[in-house]
Structure 1
Amino acid sequence: MNQLLSTMIRSLVAAATFSVAAVGAHAQGATGNADAGKKKADMCIGCHGIVGYQNSFPEIHKVPMISGQSDKYIIAALTAYKSGDRKHPSMRGIAGSLSDQDMADLAAFYSTQGGQPVPDAPKAASAAVAALLEKGACVSCHGANFSKPIDPSYPKIAGQHPDYLFVALKAYTVEGSNVVGRSNPIMAGMAKQFKPAELRQIAKYLGSLDTELKTVPQSRFR
């Protein structure tokens, strides 16, 4: 049964990958320049360049670490905010102001700032959490160590802030809101299987893992 579920998910992932590629085709086609991205990151550093900084609207949580994510994931995320597939008022406003070249440059800048690769085998989860991860088939997309996704347009989630991971997972279950929600049929199907307390358990475990992700302190007044 688990093997059948994994096969079905991989088929859905393949279809979704084509969809993501179509949405972000223009930005993905631009060649990013990390030096140019550093000069364009002023709008980002007020949140993503401060260690421990918290988002206060529409929900309170630590802003995600993006240094060390792949360039293709950063572009995919910005594209989703720009199109409204990810609902977050301030991120949509910022992404909406970016050209394809801007996205590629910012992605190149942040993707070069990660830490050391993490072990292939993550620390063992409790039996309860392991069952939740298996039910969600999380490794099918995000990799066995949750830091080597099968497609670079998917995020590395090992070691990401647990409160952010919980809010992100919960967002896939929200419908009809103008300020909260994420449109992704695969993630929605996964997240809607779980109660909020179970999503918190998953997020807490993933957040405890070794990570390549970082918040690189930046001066607000550089």
Structure 2
Amino acid sequence: MNKLLLTLSSMLVASATAFSAHAQEAKGDAKAGEGKVAMCIGCHGIHGYQASFPEIYRVPMISGQNAKFIASALNAYKKGERKHPSMRAIAESLSDQDIADVSAYYEGHGKGAAAAPAKAPSPSAKVAELLNKGGCVACHGDNFNKPIDPSYPKVGGQPADYLFVALKSYKTEGNATWGRANGIMGGIAKQFSNAELKELAGYVSSLPGELKTVPQSRFR
């Protein structure tokens, strides 16, 4: 376990350093980003909205997500490291400045007075064992909402079906339209069966989270 955490830490430092160098190229402007999110609202601005590819699942909440992670994800779709036809088409339409602005907008979107933190449920013995095996807290932090680097996502409270599909995508190889190329997450996800990934997704979804879906209109 210690060896796994040491390896993860080394990879995280390298990844964060590389991302930081890229992020310095464009500084996000949340106000400018407000005028660039029309293509995001149709999915991420509707409570309970479900995607249908590669299967039916609720889309992730992105209001309150780390700006650096949103930018990292969009750039991964743009480069084809994350494969999803709709998201790649959207990402390819955005300049580096657009991505920085949209990311800055969503990081602050929906933030208001801080609510009292809810008590996190304890995992079952089986889930605790799976979490320990994957070293999940080492990256995503307390309640899966305090990642060790802002280029990593908050995931606590995200829809369970989304988390399950996302985790499975890291195991997918050789598919032209679906999958995520990420050495860290790929190595972790491949340790688990899909049934185990579903259990992990269910627990992480049950945690109190900071992310929201804030209803938005295309005609503002």
Asked if 1 retains the 8 angstrom alpha-carbon contact of 2:164 and 2:201, the reply is yes
Do residues 75 (structure 1) and 56 (structure 2) align?
Answer: no
| 1:181-220 correspondence to structure 2 within 5 Å | 181-220=179-218
Distance of 1:118 and 1:18 partners within structure 2: 34
1:12 alignment counterpart: 11
2:158 alignment counterpart: 160
The aligned amino acid for 2:88 is R
Once the 2 structures are TM-superposed, how far is the Cα of residue 121 of structure 1 from its aligned partner?
Answer: 7.4
Once the 2 structures are TM-superposed, how far is the Cα of residue 144 of structure 1 from its aligned partner?
Answer: 2.5
The aligned amino acid for 1:46 is G
> More displaced, 184-193 or 10-19?
10-19
CA deviation digits over 1:89-140, x for unaligned, max 9? 0000000000111111111110002554784973311110010000000011
Root-mean-square deviation over aligned CA pairs = 1.7
Do residues 128 (structure 1) and 126 (structure 2) align?
Answer: yes
Distance of 1:58 and 1:19 partners within structure 2: 30
In structure 2, do the counterparts of structure 1 residues 97 and 217 end up closer, same or farther at CA, with 3 Å as the change threshold? same
CA deviation digits over 1:150-209, x for unaligned, max 9? 110000010011111111100000000011100111100000000000000000000011
| 1:43-82 correspondence to structure 2 within 5 Å | 43-82=39-78
Distance of 2:116 and 2:103 partners within structure 1: 21
CA deviation digits over 1:63-93, x for unaligned, max 9? 1000010110110010000000000000000
In structure 2, do the counterparts of structure 1 residues 165 and 118 end up closer, same or farther at CA, with 3 Å as the change threshold? farther
The aligned amino acid for 2:177 is V
In structure 2, do the counterparts of structure 1 residues 120 and 35 end up closer, same or farther at CA, with 3 Å as the change threshold? same
Unpaired runs of at least 5, structure 2:
none
| 1:137-176 correspondence to structure 2 within 5 Å | 137-176=135-174
Unpaired runs of at least 5, structure 1:
none
Once the 2 structures are TM-superposed, how far is the Cα of residue 37 of structure 1 from its aligned partner?
Answer: 0.8
Once the 2 structures are TM-superposed, how far is the Cα of residue 15 of structure 1 from its aligned partner?
Answer: 2.5
Distance of 2:202 and 2:165 partners within structure 1: 12
Asked if 2 retains the 8 angstrom alpha-carbon contact of 1:48 and 1:63, the reply is yes
CA deviation digits over 1:14-47, x for unaligned, max 9? 223334445xx0x553121112111111011000
TM-score, reference length from structure 2:
0.93
The aligned amino acid for 1:129 is V
The aligned amino acid for 1:151 is D
| 1:28-47 correspondence to structure 2 within 5 Å | 28-47=24-43
The aligned amino acid for 2:64 is G
